[in-house]
Amino acid sequence: AMILQGTREFLMGDPRAAISFFTKVLAKDKSNTEAMIKLGSCYMELGDSEEAINRFNMAEAANKHNPDIYYHRAQVRFLLEDLDKALTDYQRAIELNPDFLFSYIQMAVTLYKSKKHDEAEALFKKTLDQFPDRFETWNYYGEILMDQQRLDEAEAAFKRSLELDTEKRSPLALINQAILASQVRKDLAAAEALCQEALQRDAECEVAYNQLAQVYLQQQRFPEAIRCYDQVIDIVRNPVELLGMISCREAAAVQYYVMEKFPEDMRKLQASIGGA
């Protein structure tokens, strides 16, 4: 029961409360690997990556055959840019649970970030063959194609992801299409519509609000952008991400204030930047 209570607190955005429940579980059962793993996730959510790694290491010592340990530890190592160790953990997670899609996807992304582009693409293609009905792979594959400026292929990948997502569960491919629309095609109306559609799928999607704010800023629609940042600030849980969103919101508010207070000076400044 305490595992469930702790998980609920974590999902509700209170990792500190979750820690108290998982700690109580371990006080009664020092070998409870699930509680150790969840504690690691809580500490990562609080920005304490060192303690997160410690908890995952303790879980590995208790049960080295649990694939969840390696998957979650790999995610922390990826965020710390300890990519070689992350790859080792993802590979071990795959060996222990070859049916879990996201170990393959995250390993491919890590290979790509490690500049092993050919290996990353090969793993993505292998994963597409192994899990032909899963929409998630197409979205993440599209992201690396977009990063390589293979834009037509990226657009096709995002479209395929949306086709396979028949229950319209994920907003991510729509957000990526919005990025293509706003940054490549400069079609801000299409980008806005795609972000709004993404938010219909997930009303608490931080990435969708952030991208929509960027679209509004490109059009100097500062009040709408500020409202988007306010929405993100209300739902974001990670303290580092929260500070980033507050900074973005305040920057947009300053721009809006200057635009309202000194419109002529702002127009001249923008004209000079545009002509530079």
Instruction: List Cβ neighbours of 25 (8 Å cut-off, separation of 6 or more).
Output: 2, 3, 6, 32, 35
Higher pLDDT, 151 or 262: 151
pTM confidence score: 0.89
Q: Is the pLDDT of residue 276 over 60?
A: no
pLDDT of residue 275: 54
Find, among 222, 123, 219, 228, the residue nearest to 175 by Cα: 228
pLDDT of residue 262: 87
Q: How far apart are CA 44 and CA 162, in angstroms?
A: 31
Q: How far apart are CA 65 and CA 247, in angstroms?
A: 43
Find, among 100, 97, 95, the residue nearest to 137 by Cα: 100
Fold of 171-276: 1.25.40
Chain segment 152-181, per-residue pLDDT in tens:
999 999 999 999 999 999 999 999 999 999
114-132 as b/e: b if 16+ CB within 10 A: eebeeebbebbeebbeeee
Q: Is the pLDDT of residue 85 over 60?
A: yes
Q: How far apart are the first and last CA of the chain?
A: 64
Q: Mind giving me the DSSP string for 132-144? A: TT-HHHHHHHHHH
When pLDDT is cut at 50, 70 and 90, the band that residue 273 belongs to is: low
Chain segment 216-253, per-residue pLDDT in tens:
999 999 999 999 999 999 998 777 889 999 999 999 99
User: Quick one: tokens of 68?
Assistant: 């969840």
**What are the sequence ranges of the domains in the chain?**
171-276
Q: How far apart are CA 105 and CA 90, in angstroms?
A: 10
Count of H-run helices and E-run strands, the chain? 16, 0
pLDDT of residue 239: 78
Q: How far apart are CA 205 and CA 130, in angstroms?
A: 29
